[in-house]
Structure 1
Amino acid sequence: MRKVLYNRFGDEQVVEVQEQPTPTITEEQLLIQVKAASINPLDWKIYRGEMKLMSGSKLPKGVGIDFAGIVRQVGAGVTRFRVGDAVFGLLGVFKGGALADYVAVTEAAIALKPAAISFDQAASLPVAGLAALQLVDQLAAIGKGHEVLLNGATGGVGQFAIQLAKKRGARVTAVAGQAGAPRATQLGADLVVDYTRQDIRQLTQRFDTIIDLSDKLVFKVAKKLLKPKGTFVNTLPSPQGLVLSFFHNLFSARKRKILILKPTAAGLSTLAALAQDELQIPIERVYALADIRQAYQETSRGNVKGKAVVVL
């Protein structure tokens, strides 16, 4: 089978499609034929070597976290799925390997694909959707009447975060470029700030929650826009950021938090229900597996604003 691997850390040139044996499943696993896998910023932070403390340094490594596909084999201990089921899910966040023709997973890592969405859309959902759920419901505990600022609001996570924050009753200010502004409005943002025309540091409004989805808004700037007991959340973890946030929160009423994605089966089921109902899952770009280097080059440099999907 085909699988995307890298044998050294570096830019997108280190990733390549290789022939590998099809995984052998245990009694507790399922073999999934992958139809589509999505691209996430965490992918390139890992293959560039920026996350070694969390992902480890052992090579070679696979790439890709979330996927959608069809169950082709089930182990004797599997009870919730059967051969032929269409499913979506994710592998270990720092493990990778979803960009492959087949993956071996446990039942807890997948959910049935909603009939209302395509494989491409389903593959776009686990990482970004679970991140948005965790941001809105856990880290920020966004509720009715909360004033929320989403910086980088039209990326993969942002598009779900806008919708979820609105469902919780918040008033959402979305920060996006000129091209992304219409999308933010369509998804429900109450106010859209075009960062190419307005410096958000000049905003007079103060927020209960600021979520930085671009990894470009530093806490020193963000805290001036927070209410006295507001919360700032960064979505791309780093060892330094984790340490700084821990010590900061010991002494300040304004909290600084960092998203560390914690996938759960319950979270996947929640996303499936939302997707079956009315959650919008916009896909910006679709790539073939053979174009994986181009895919990472374009997405990592910001040329793709929404979700990008690789079709196998």
Structure 2
Amino acid sequence: MRKVMYNQFGDESVLELIEQAVPSIQDDQLLIRVKAVSINPLDWKIYGGAMKLMSGTTFPKSVGIDFSGVVEQAGITVSRFKTGDAIIGLLDVFKGGALADYIVVKETDIAPKPTNLSFEEAAALPVTGLSALQIIDQLAKVGANQDVLINGATGGIGVFAVQIAKKRGARVTAVVSTKGVAEAKRWGADTVIDYTRQDSKLLGQTFDAVIDLSTKLSFTEAKNLMKRKAIFVSTLPSPLTLLHSFINNLFSGQKLTILILKPTVDGFNTLTHLAEAGLQIVLDKTYSFTNVREAYREARQGKLIGKSVIVLD
């Protein structure tokens, strides 16, 4: 079988498509035939060496976090899935390994594929969808009649964060590029700010929650956009930011929280229900397995709306 691996940190040139034997499974595991894998910013941060503290420095390493596929084989103690089931799944975010023809998972790593989604659409759901759910429901605690600012609203997480925040009854202000204005309005944002024409830091309005998905708005800058009791959500889980969060939150009503994705079965179930109820999935581009380097190179340029997906032929 084919698998993407790398033996040193670097840019997309370190990614290699190699041949390996199809892995065997234990009694509590499943063998998945992978159909599609989504691209996440965390991927290139890891193979680029920016996350060494979390990912480690032992090689070789694998790529790919979330995926869709079909159960090829199920261990004898597996109870929730059987051969032939269409699934979505999520591997350890710092180890990856989904970019392969076959992968081995446990039941807790996967969920049934929403019936109304293609395999390509379904692969785009787990990491960003679960992240958006965790941000909106747990970190920002978004509720009815709250004012929420989402900076970087047309990225993978933003697509879902806007929609879920609206479902929770919030008033959503989305900050996007010119290319994303119409899309953000289509997802339900009440106000859309084109950052190329207006500085979102000078809005003259304060919010109950400020969610930065662009990684370009600091907590210090965001304070002017926050009410006296408000929450700022960052997606950069660095040790320094975690320490800053702990100290700040002891004394300030303006809280700093950091997304550290924690997938759960309940989260998967909620996401599946949302998808089957019409949650919009946005695919910017799909790539073949043989074009992995091109796929990551283009995604890393950051000009996409929604997600890009690698399809395994």
Name the TM-score class by shorter chain.
Answer: over 0.9
1:95 aligns with 2:95: yes
Post-superposition shift, 1:77?
0.6
Aligned match of 1:173: 173
Q: Over residues 122-155 of structure 1, what are the superposed CA-to-partner deviations in whole Å (9 max), with x where a residue is unaligned?
A: 1000000000000000001000011000000011
1:148 aligns with 2:148: yes
Q: State how far apart, in whole Å, the 2-side matches of 1:123 and 1:299 are.
A: 16
On the 8 A contact 2:282/2:305 being kept in 1, the answer is: no
Aligned match of 1:309: 309
Where does 1:196-275 land on structure 2 (aligned, <5 Å)? Answer: 196-275=196-275
What SS is found at the alignment partner of 1:100?
Answer: coil
Aligned match of 1:182: 182
What SS is found at the alignment partner of 1:59?
Answer: coil
Give the TM-score of the pair, scaled to structure 2.
0.98
Post-superposition shift, 1:61?
0.7
Q: State how far apart, in whole Å, the 2-side matches of 1:265 and 1:187 are.
A: 26
The one-letter amino acid paired with 1:14 is: V
Residue segments in structure 2 that go unaligned for 5+ positions in a row: none
On the 8 A contact 1:207/1:227 being kept in 2, the answer is: yes
Post-superposition shift, 1:236?
2.7
On the 8 A contact 1:44/1:300 being kept in 2, the answer is: yes
On the 8 A contact 1:42/1:236 being kept in 2, the answer is: no
The one-letter amino acid paired with 2:71 is: V
What SS is found at the alignment partner of 2:44?
Answer: helix
What SS is found at the alignment partner of 1:180?
Answer: helix
What SS is found at the alignment partner of 2:192?
Answer: strand
Q: State how far apart, in whole Å, the 1-side matches of 2:23 and 2:228 are.
A: 52
On the 8 A contact 1:53/1:239 being kept in 2, the answer is: no
Post-superposition shift, 1:239?
2.0
Q: State how far apart, in whole Å, the 2-side matches of 1:54 and 1:37 are.
A: 22
Residue segments in structure 1 that go unaligned for 5+ positions in a row: none
Aligned match of 2:16: 16
Q: State how far apart, in whole Å, the 2-side matches of 1:169 and 1:42 are.
A: 30
Q: Over residues 174-200 of structure 1, what are the superposed CA-to-partner deviations in whole Å (9 max), with x where a residue is unaligned?
A: 000000011100000000000000011
The one-letter amino acid paired with 1:243 is: L
Q: State how far apart, in whole Å, the 2-side matches of 1:136 and 1:2 are.
A: 37
Percentage of pairs with the same residue: 59
